[in-house]
Amino acid sequence: MIPLSWYLLLSATLFCLGIVGFLVRRNLITIFMSIELMLNGVNLSFVTFAHQWHLVKGQIFVFFVMVVAAAEAAVGLAIIIAIFRARATLAVDRIDLMKL
């Protein structure tokens, strides 16, 4: 018997760790991965609440989150490749011009 609050705590910590990664890290890909982490944190809380109220919609919503994450990853990585090809660096601070 594990109270659901523990799951929620875990998802909150994951989410916050994602934010920290998003703020602190300077490599573009790492930032991207911390966003994925945040999304997973959210997924966990979705499932938890789905279980709490015995509603399947929660879980379906996680599907949609996954879809969006996938699309985002695809496009994001394409951009990263384009940036890397143009600037030969992935350090976020050096990429500050709107034009590549």
Partner 1 sequence: MHLILFIVFAGLCLAGALNLLLQKHPINSALSLVVVMTSLAVLYLLLGAEFLAAAQIIVYAGAIMVLFTFVIMLLNAGREERTLGSKAAVALGFPAVAAILAVIATVILKAQDLGSVSLSDGITSTEELSRVLFHELLLPFEVTSVLILIAILGAVSLARKGHGDQEAGK
Partner 2 sequence: MNGPLLFLPLIPLLPFAGFLLNGLFGSRLPKALVTLIALLAPLGSLAIVAHDAYLFWSGAITFPVIEQGAPTWISVGTLHVDFGFVLDQLSLTMLLIITGVGFLIHIYSAGYMAHEKGYWRYFAYLNLFLFFMIVLVLAGNALLMFVGWEGVGLASYLLIGFWFQKTSAADAGKKAFVVNRIGDFGFLIGMFLLLANFGTLTFSEIATKIGENPGWTGGVLTCIAICLFVGAAGKSAQIPLYVWLPDAMEGPTPVSALIHAATMVTAGVYMIARSHAIFDRSPVALSVVAIIGAATALFAATMGLVQTDIKRVLAYSTISQLGYMFLGCGVMAYSAGVFHLMTHAFFKALLFLAAGSVIHGIGGEQDLRKMGGLRKKLPVTFWTMTAGVFAIAGAPFLSAFYSKDAILYAAFQQGTFGRVLWAVGLFTALLTSFYMFRLWYLAFFGKQRAPELHPHESPWSMLGPLVILALLSIGGGWIGIEKFSEWLAPAVGTHAVEAAGGIPEWAFSVIAVSMGLIGWLVAHVLYFAKPDQPAKLAGSFSVPYKVLVNKYWVDEIYNALIVKPLLMISRFLLEWVVEFAIIGGVVWLLAGIALLTGAILQKWQSGNLRSYAAWLAAGAAALLLFAGAVLLAANGVDIKWAGWK
Question: Which residue ranges make up the site for partner 2 (CB under 8 A)?
Answer: 19, 22-23, 26, 31, 52-53, 92-93, 95-98
Q: How far is the CB of 1 from partner 1 (least distance, A)?
A: 5
Judged by CB under 8 A, which of 42, 43, 95, 98 binds partner 1? Answer: 43
Judged by CB under 8 A, which of 42, 52, 95, 97 binds partner 1? Answer: 52
32 near partner 1, judged by CB under 8 A: yes
User: What letter would DSSP give residue 65?
Assistant: H
Q: Which does 29 bind (CB under 5 to 8 A by kind): partner 1, partner 2, none?
A: partner 1
Identify the CA nearest to 84 among candidates 32, 13, 9, 11. Answer: 32
The DSSP bridge partners found for residue 91 are: 27
Q: Which does 38 bind (CB under 5 to 8 A by kind): partner 2, partner 1, none?
A: none
Which value, to the nearest 10 degrees, does the dihedral of the CA atoms of residues 52, 68, 31, 84 take? 170
90 near partner 1, judged by CB under 8 A: yes
User: What letter would DSSP give residue 92?
Assistant: G
C-alpha span between 7 and 9 (Å, rounded): 5
